[in-house]
Structure 1
Amino acid sequence: MGRAEARQARQRGARRARRAGPSGIRRFFTFRKILGTFFGLCLLAMGAFFVAYMLVPVPEANAEAKLQSNIYKYSDGKILARTGEVNREIIGLDKIPKDVQYAFVAAENKTFFEDSGVDIKGTLRGLKNTVTGQGKQGGSTITQQYVKNYYLTQDRTITRKLKELVISLKVDRNKEKSEILAGYLNTSYFGRGAYGIQAAAQAYYGVDAEKLNVAQGAYLAALVQAPSSYDWAVASDETKEAVTNRWNYVLNNMVEESWLDKGTRDGLKFPVPRAPKAPPGLSGQAGYIVDAAKEELARQGLDKSDLDAGGWTITLNIDSKRQKELENAVTEQLEDQLDREGSKVDATVQAGATSVDPKTGKVVALYGGVGATEHWVSNATRRDYQPASTFKPVVFASALENGSETQDGDPIGLNTVYDGDSKRPVEGIDGHYAPQNDLNRSYGPVSVQTSLNRSINSAFAQMAVDVGLDEVKETALDMGVPDKNFPVRPSIALGTMSASTWDMAGVYATLDNHGKKVTPTIVAKAEHKDREIEVQDPIGSQVISRETADTVTAGLTGVVKNGSGVNAKSSAYEAAGKTGTSENNKSAWFAGYTPELATVVALFGESPKEGGGQVSLTGTAEAGRANGGGFPAKIWADYTLGALNGGSDAEFDLDVAEIASPDPSPTPTETESEETSPTPTETESEETSPTPTDTETADPAPTDEAPVTPSFTPPSGTFTPPIETDDGDGDGEANRDEERRPLTP
């Protein structure tokens, strides 16, 4: 075959191939078939959507659109408070300023006035996020959000999202934009339990919605995106920056849409909302108790928005009788003695208390202040003051638990002797720390028992170093002291961290419960129609040994019998406790317990001026220097007597570690004891206070028997409370000296 014939054969084969068309998979995927399949699927989807549009009706409003109340009950079933019924007020769009309306549109849906009620791209993105588990759907228009809030649920499912799409189209066709916008503004959640813009305006700015300005409206519009975290009162620095950026974004969008003049916008400043206040109906102690219950439920895993939606019945551990006893004790022992209107000092006094059943961990009574509608911050749970010398028993507990020894190698126990001289340099550290005792008193050689009784700073600062500062902190955290601003330096012994009466009640209840961890718990149960919150067991594991806990208890009975806590003493019950007064008398504490009840009472000096701030309690009720052995101990005793129905025969069952002192010290005379020292006048200072002689500062001779034997007999007649400011006025210089010099234990 020649070349010409071969070429003709190839040409004939090509023509036959073209006539036959592509083979195999190429024949299957032709352009026309792909295009046809695509249009077919589109028609199928459109048909399915049309059917869904016809079949899915616009439902009635859901239950969450009509908020229910929550009911809070005492442990005996009596109702303490109802919440939720009045924290929402539906208002017309004419009651909402036009620029505030535009702020929400600018924040959430700039095309609201022109669109058909849905954002297809955003909805598809939301469906993808739902299917792939990538969090919130996002991309919803104002109409879609209104439909979700008013007609549907917050469930993150494909079914719910598709229903939202269909119903939004129908609502947009059947309702005016103004009606949809009004519904959206009245159903949105803004945090602080506020549903709707009227409640939000009151919650954040204390005004009706019609009084909101554009800057405030822009903040509320920004808030809707993340109401829990964007609340200025609880936001971190990073979150505050985020919400400020969001606020600017809203205003810039308004300018872009010509809803706000640029000159006006440039002159706006961020409108910081006011601090949270209790809603009406939660006056007195009810607001504090409900707030503590909410915080605990959040810790137990109940979402705040679920709780605020209503329908919950919360039974509390609060005992209505003991609660009344605590309120009466504060009134009679403190409030009736104060002149809040006529005395600048008395106007600063804030009282707080928490009482716990040590066997169950139940918070049976709580005092948060003069009233939740007058003073919103709860003095029972606030952590901005130092617990002062109420922390010293924790140092001693750590010494026992770790089998610690003094610098001389002596084991630490109740009879162990320390140098009680004021401003004595602490040994065993790099740097200098020499804490001053109350009134600059020096005591010479003293036992740990007497150091507890008289709250001797120098002895406990040395003990903390002997134990090891990290070991002290570890014991404290195990017992329930919060890990917040916790210093790891010798002043740890003087209670220079932050803690609340709630925290310290747990610590002392743990001692009372022979070393088993007690976590104060205020909620007994929380029930909804379709679910129940399981409350965790307040009683935990053995965090310190029984012998350690009981030895500390033995020492603290001496504080009540013969020491600074003698105002808590009564023949009607057996008690253990410790006083505490922070630097410059800014707080005064008494933490004590009987075999059946652990209670911590504290006073805080808080400036009544805008912005608050800590101030001295000196001069409270014209009683001179504040101290934990004064008003706090008296409140504690009054309450405890009533809470125990006039008294109790229960006694401490103690397993005490007996560690003999290697160097017993002599006994002081009665007239030279701290209890009988006169109350100093305001002109007396640490510089003019006399330093006791050797015979004045001697300690009672320790024995191998009960180390809590009184070192003297209390005088008869009216008792003058001991002047015990612990780590107070006299400590300031030493504490500052410690801060100047880094310390290594």
Structure 2
Amino acid sequence: MKLRPIKRLKRPTAGGTGGKRPRRTGWRRLIPTWRMTLLGFASAILLGVGLFALGIALVKVPDAHATAVAQSNTWLYSDGSVLTRTGQTNRQNVSLDKVSPAAQHAALAAEDRNFYNEGAINVQGLARAALNTAKGEGTQGGSTITQQYVKNTYLNQKQSVTRKVKELFIAIKVDATESKDDILAGYLNTSYYGRGAYGIQAAAQAYFGVDASALNAAQGAYLATLLNAPSAYDVATATPAGKQNAVNRWNYVMDGMVKENWLPADERAKTVFPEVKDPQPNPGLSGQAGYLVDAATQYLTANGIVNETELAKGGYTIKLSIDPNRQQALQDSVQAQLHDNLNPDKRKKDATAQAGAVSVDPRTGAVVALYGGVDYVKHYVDNATRRDYQAGSTFKPIALAAAFENNARTQDGRTITPRTVYDGTSGRKVRGGKGTPYAAPNEGDKSYGQISLQQATDWSVNSAFTQLAQDAGLQKVKDTGIALGLPSNTPGLDPVASIPLGTATPSVLDMAGVYATLDNGGKQITPWLVAAVDREGEAVPLPAHKTTQAISADTANQVTSMLQGVVSDPGGTGWRAKALGRPVAGKTGTTDEQKSVWFVGYTPELVTSVALFGQDPATGAQVSLSGVGGIDGAAGGQFPAQIWTGYMKAALKGQPVSDFATPADGGEDAGATDAPTTPSTPSTPSASPSTGTPGGATGGTTPGDGSSSGGSGGKPTTDPTTQPTTQPTTRPTNRPTTRPTPTTPPTGQPTTQPTSPATGGTGALAGTGAGTGSGG
């Protein structure tokens, strides 16, 4: 029997369709196979990696935006207290070592406790934030400090997917290229803390009045609390609920510091919520702050320390030489001696008075106080540094110094000393010059006849000083002024016959520097206002304060000795300054038409220059000061001397009284006369120096300054162009024995006290004018 082969049966497939795989039908077609799942997952990973790589490649770390780098400049008084801050953004960047460790730890405890052990992104935090946001629990940050730093520095605060994606990629790049310390410092410097304070340094000052380096744990924790809600958590202004929320957040930060072992538990237990300062308005540039900043800025830029562009970027801390106590004393004296006696509502003339003053330490050149005007935001021209008003007879000591330093001789060949006799006839023509002889009138056209150079100085006699300058040499007078401290480009500083009468227009600051040289034994130091400059923790080098022996010590002492007579002489133009009760040397000045009046005086310890300028508040034009304060006439011995005395009393209060150095010859050398030696009958002046009034307010009721206007005085009985023909029969004394004043001592004050101060003007700088300069 033949066997048949057995056929292999095919195993039925699922669904019983024979050898074919059954087709998926219905909803099962939507379920991916494991192969599809695996392939899709792998593709997603590759796509994600590719997109991430593309994002890393395409997204660049941009430059920091302007608001993130903008900083304020902080201006300090000499004692370190804040004068003001300038710039639109109240920020001062500091390096991390200038932030206390407690404040650093507080910020980490509040915002990112794992900062030093994580990357740029906290995935868990992002997921948690996304979940909370999706659940409607509010927008959640979930950002690391690195991300917040990136947002503050390179991006904006807008919540968007695009901004968030950029933030992530930039954060990764920043984390890879910057150290953790740099990132933390950047975060602390760019965060906003409320009260207009950007950065932890500005915040430390705004809330506690200390630097960031001095913050303790409680204070640092409070500032870290503010990062969450600056305005809502400001306990000085917040609602009761806001205050409680701030305290709760503060406790959270403090406890976090303990948990991370950044704060001992026992210290935490005894730490209480810190006392927070009340908000303070930004001092800005109002009052005297603007003048001080303006003067200091001129110093910084003129000396190449910081250029204007860099200064405008901010971030500088500039300590001035200004003593806050003396600054306040100067402001108080101007107010009490001048503005309290002005009433522009009743006397329009009072609105024209503009005061400027500068006080300098003669041994160092440091400017310790400066008054620039009534208010920088009302009168922006700095009266302390402007160079458009003539100096008047405050220039005469320069002529004295030129004569003594160069051993000058009179026209008949005798060495000039304080006892040298000059002709004080008003309008006397100068001898020895070229061209038409110059003939300067004295104040009120007053003639004095034969007087010593000391008396001519005390009474500020123009005719004597124009001859003195000619004898000394006009170019030498100019050169001496420059050596003593006047800028060589000072307007009007020309070697002409009128130079000793003050036709030049130096600033009040310039003249303080000149007199400081006299007070410092002839050693010249250009006045300075900036003691230290720092930018973001790095000191900016300052130039050395150069000292130059401008004139000999004996010349300086001789001039100082003579200027003491201006104050101590009962008839001297600066007699009001004697009320200081210390040895004082000084000189008054009054210019043509009384457009400016001056008093520059000094003690061995301090030099102060004060001037009053007449300026039309509407046009800015220079006008006469006559009538200001209800006084007919104006003189440097009035308001300027009174301001000077009031300030110096406060500035030197409690300091020991010291004397000036004595000249080598004691000022007692026999003098000579500039008169011809041909014997003849001496001319008789119209008034004796011992009885006549050397000028002043109306009718000679106030001792004046020797200017060519104001006061009264007799005409000379002889032709003023005629030179005296003999020497005086007796040698003049070094000081007159009586003060040539009226029987009633003048007060220099109006008869009624005004009730409101002047506001000053804001006009543009006026021109220097032509005039002859004038007296005293």
**CA contact 1:557–1:708 (8 Å) conserved in 2:** no
2:61 corresponds in structure 1 to: 58
Pairwise CA distance, 1:471: 1.0
- The change in CA–CA distance for 1:373 and 1:686 in structure 2 (over 3 A counts) is closer
Give the Cα–Cα distance (whole angstroms) in 1 for the partners of residues 548 and 773 of structure 2. 38
Aligned amino acid, residue 466 of structure 1: D
Aligned amino acid, residue 558 of structure 1: G
**CA contact 1:446–1:699 (8 Å) conserved in 2:** no
**CA contact 2:503–2:773 (8 Å) conserved in 1:** no
1:628 corresponds in structure 2 to: 636
The answer to whether residue 494 in structure 2 is matched with residue 495 in structure 1 is no
* 1:343 aligns with one of 343, 347, 352: 347
The answer to whether residue 375 in structure 2 is matched with residue 371 in structure 1 is yes
The answer to whether residue 690 in structure 2 is matched with residue 690 in structure 1 is no
* 2:70 aligns with one of 67, 70, 93: 67
2:511 corresponds in structure 1 to: 504
Give the Cα–Cα distance (whole angstroms) in 2 for the partners of residues 360 and 631 of structure 1. 28
The answer to whether residue 659 in structure 2 is matched with residue 651 in structure 1 is yes
Pairwise CA distance, 1:708: 5.3
Pairwise CA distance, 1:513: 0.2
Pairwise CA distance, 1:734: 8.6
1:674 corresponds in structure 2 to: 694
Give the Cα–Cα distance (whole angstroms) in 1 for the partners of residues 430 and 56 of structure 2. 81
1:307-333 CA deviation, whole Å, 9 max, x = no partner?
111111111111111111111111111
2:97 corresponds in structure 1 to: none
- The change in CA–CA distance for 1:339 and 1:392 in structure 2 (over 3 A counts) is same
2:456 corresponds in structure 1 to: 451
2:590 corresponds in structure 1 to: 581
Give the Cα–Cα distance (whole angstroms) in 2 for the partners of residues 386 and 536 of structure 1. 31
Give the Cα–Cα distance (whole angstroms) in 1 for the partners of residues 325 and 578 of structure 2. 22
Pairwise CA distance, 1:542: 0.4
2:573 corresponds in structure 1 to: 564
Give the Cα–Cα distance (whole angstroms) in 1 for the partners of residues 711 and 363 of structure 2. 47
**CA contact 1:574–1:650 (8 Å) conserved in 2:** yes
2:549 corresponds in structure 1 to: 542
- The change in CA–CA distance for 1:434 and 1:320 in structure 2 (over 3 A counts) is same
Tell me, what secondary structure is at the counterpart of 2:358? strand
Pairwise CA distance, 1:347: 0.8
Tell me, what secondary structure is at the counterpart of 1:340? coil
2:104 corresponds in structure 1 to: none
Pairwise CA distance, 1:580: 0.3
- The change in CA–CA distance for 1:298 and 1:496 in structure 2 (over 3 A counts) is same
* Higher alpha-carbon Rg: 2
Tell me, what secondary structure is at the counterpart of 2:589? strand
2:606 corresponds in structure 1 to: 597
- The change in CA–CA distance for 1:439 and 1:714 in structure 2 (over 3 A counts) is closer
- The change in CA–CA distance for 1:709 and 1:454 in structure 2 (over 3 A counts) is closer
- The change in CA–CA distance for 1:79 and 1:394 in structure 2 (over 3 A counts) is same
2:447 corresponds in structure 1 to: 442
Pairwise CA distance, 1:662: 3.1
- The change in CA–CA distance for 1:687 and 1:375 in structure 2 (over 3 A counts) is closer
Pairwise CA distance, 1:281: 1.7
The answer to whether residue 487 in structure 2 is matched with residue 484 in structure 1 is no
1:6-52 CA deviation, whole Å, 9 max, x = no partner?
xxxxxxxxxxxxxxxxxxxxxxxxxxxxxxxxxxxxxxxxxxxxx99
1:353 corresponds in structure 2 to: 357
Pairwise CA distance, 1:532: 2.4
Give the Cα–Cα distance (whole angstroms) in 2 for the partners of residues 385 and 445 of structure 1. 32
Give the Cα–Cα distance (whole angstroms) in 2 for the partners of residues 736 and 387 of structure 1. 8
Give the Cα–Cα distance (whole angstroms) in 2 for the partners of residues 405 and 663 of structure 1. 10
**CA contact 2:70–2:314 (8 Å) conserved in 1:** yes
2:738 corresponds in structure 1 to: 712
Question: Could you tell which deviates more after superposition, 422-431 or 500-509?
Answer: 422-431
**CA contact 2:573–2:588 (8 Å) conserved in 1:** yes
1:290 corresponds in structure 2 to: 293
1:520 corresponds in structure 2 to: 527
Pairwise CA distance, 1:648: 4.0
Aligned amino acid, residue 561 of structure 2: A
**CA contact 2:390–2:504 (8 Å) conserved in 1:** yes
**CA contact 1:700–1:711 (8 Å) conserved in 2:** no
Pairwise CA distance, 1:386: 0.7
Give the Cα–Cα distance (whole angstroms) in 1 for the partners of residues 699 and 546 of structure 2. 42
1:641 corresponds in structure 2 to: 649
1:135-175 CA deviation, whole Å, 9 max, x = no partner?
xxxxxxxxxxxxxxx979xxxxxxxxxxxxxx9xxxxxxxx
Tell me, what secondary structure is at the counterpart of 2:583? coil
Give the Cα–Cα distance (whole angstroms) in 2 for the partners of residues 76 and 87 of structure 1. 21
2:189 corresponds in structure 1 to: none
2:177 corresponds in structure 1 to: none
> Identity rate of aligned residues, in percent?
46
- The change in CA–CA distance for 1:425 and 1:717 in structure 2 (over 3 A counts) is closer
2:559 corresponds in structure 1 to: 552
The answer to whether residue 671 in structure 2 is matched with residue 661 in structure 1 is yes
Pairwise CA distance, 1:712: 2.1
- The change in CA–CA distance for 1:60 and 1:577 in structure 2 (over 3 A counts) is same
2:366 corresponds in structure 1 to: 362
Pairwise CA distance, 1:57: 1.5
- The change in CA–CA distance for 1:86 and 1:344 in structure 2 (over 3 A counts) is farther
- The change in CA–CA distance for 1:363 and 1:686 in structure 2 (over 3 A counts) is closer
Give the Cα–Cα distance (whole angstroms) in 2 for the partners of residues 544 and 492 of structure 1. 19
Pairwise CA distance, 1:623: 0.9
- The change in CA–CA distance for 1:443 and 1:677 in structure 2 (over 3 A counts) is farther
1:232-291 CA deviation, whole Å, 9 max, x = no partner?
xxxxxxxxxxxxxxxxxxxxxxxxxxxxxxxxxxxxxxxxxxxxxxx9821000110011
Give the Cα–Cα distance (whole angstroms) in 1 for the partners of residues 350 and 362 of structure 2. 33
Q: What are structure 1's unaligned runs of at least 5 residues?
A: 1-50, 89-149, 153-166, 168-278, 724-731, 738-745
- The change in CA–CA distance for 1:716 and 1:286 in structure 2 (over 3 A counts) is same
1:637-683 CA deviation, whole Å, 9 max, x = no partner?
1100110016641111223444311359999575435389974499x
* 2:536 aligns with one of 510, 529, 550: 529
Give the Cα–Cα distance (whole angstroms) in 2 for the partners of residues 722 and 459 of structure 1. 27
Give the Cα–Cα distance (whole angstroms) in 1 for the partners of residues 689 and 747 of structure 2. 18
Pairwise CA distance, 1:462: 1.1
1:118 corresponds in structure 2 to: none
Aligned amino acid, residue 632 of structure 2: G
Aligned amino acid, residue 429 of structure 2: P
Give the Cα–Cα distance (whole angstroms) in 2 for the partners of residues 541 and 54 of structure 1. 63
Q: Normalising by structure 2, what TM-score?
A: 0.58
Instruction: Write the mapping of 1:97-136 to structure 2, written as runs, cut at 5 A.
Output: none
The answer to whether residue 478 in structure 2 is matched with residue 473 in structure 1 is yes
**CA contact 2:591–2:773 (8 Å) conserved in 1:** no
**CA contact 2:696–2:710 (8 Å) conserved in 1:** no
Instruction: Write the mapping of 1:132-531 to structure 2, written as runs, cut at 5 A.
Output: 281-301=284-304, 302-432=306-436, 433-482=438-487, 483-485=489-491, 486-529=493-536, 531=538
Give the Cα–Cα distance (whole angstroms) in 2 for the partners of residues 721 and 409 of structure 1. 43
**CA contact 1:419–1:443 (8 Å) conserved in 2:** yes
**CA contact 2:78–2:320 (8 Å) conserved in 1:** yes
Give the Cα–Cα distance (whole angstroms) in 2 for the partners of residues 677 and 309 of structure 1. 52
- The change in CA–CA distance for 1:606 and 1:589 in structure 2 (over 3 A counts) is same
**CA contact 1:439–1:685 (8 Å) conserved in 2:** yes
Tell me, what secondary structure is at the counterpart of 1:535? coil
Give the Cα–Cα distance (whole angstroms) in 1 for the partners of residues 365 and 589 of structure 2. 23
**CA contact 2:695–2:713 (8 Å) conserved in 1:** no
Q: What are structure 2's unaligned runs of at least 5 residues?
A: 1-53, 92-152, 156-169, 171-281, 675-681, 703-707, 719-723, 750-768
**CA contact 2:580–2:649 (8 Å) conserved in 1:** no
Pairwise CA distance, 1:710: 5.0
**CA contact 1:668–1:699 (8 Å) conserved in 2:** no
**CA contact 2:700–2:712 (8 Å) conserved in 1:** no
1:370-410 CA deviation, whole Å, 9 max, x = no partner?
00001000100000001111000001100111111111111
- The change in CA–CA distance for 1:646 and 1:569 in structure 2 (over 3 A counts) is farther
Question: Could you tell which deviates more after superposition, 72-81 or 545-554?
Answer: 72-81
Name the count of aligned residue pairs: 487
Tell me, what secondary structure is at the counterpart of 2:319? strand
